[in-house]
Amino acid sequence: MFLVKPSTHYENQYMDFYNDWKSSEEEMVPFVIKKEPINFQSMLDYLLDCEKGIEPPENWIPENSTYWLIDNQEVIGVVNIRHYLTKPLFNAGGHIGYGIRPSKRNNGYATQILSLALEKARDLNLDKVLLVCHSTNTASKKIILKNGGEMDNDYNDGENILNRFWIYC
């Protein structure tokens, strides 16, 4: 099991991943999954531009690294690492967002993708990272704590209570 940069090498596997998520009708997390892969190369270019800070969407930070979690040549999940935080992300977003395809959940993949993402964050010279989840998301809380998360102050975004955790890389 390992993280890779998005590439055409895994196009069919990514399309499988994407269609699995679309058919579930669940919210796609992290945000990069929402990018339609109809033109696959265009989607890859978009992800590379996000990492390089080229023309980020409005209100987004310009430097985001995206990786795919691969197991047995299958795309299992996606993780996005923000290289720094704005005030809104400090309160309610965090450095790392990840998602595991619906058909592969409850198999330890989320714990593993976060662990591998922490290694990538260290490579980006991040000393510690912030992770945020809804207070009702007990699975996410367990995953963050398994990876060394230390509870910080909660944040009320007006609709939800968000739990905030710091992890040293």
- Cβ(3)–Cβ(79) under 8 Å? yes
- Per-domain residue ranges for the chain? 2-168
- Measured between alpha carbons, how far is 10 from 73 in angstroms, rounded to an integer? 8
Contact 129, 148 (CB under 8 A): no
pLDDT of residue 57: 59
pLDDT of residue 161: 97
SS3 82: strand
pLDDT in tens, the chain (169 residues): 999 999 999 999 999 999 999 999 888 888 778 888 989 999 999 888 888 877 665 556 667 899 999 999 999 999 999 998 988 889 988 999 999 999 999 999 999 999 999 999 999 999 999 999 999 999 999 999 999 999 999 999 999 999 999 999 9
Q: pLDDT at position 119, please?
A: 97
Pick among 3.30.530.20, 3.30.465.10, 3.30.360.10, 3.40.630.30: CATH of 2-168: 3.40.630.30
Whole-Å CA distances, 118 to 72, 125, 131, 149, 154: 22, 11, 11, 11, 22
Question: Over 83-103, what HEC string results?
Answer: CCCCHHHHHHCECEEEEECHH
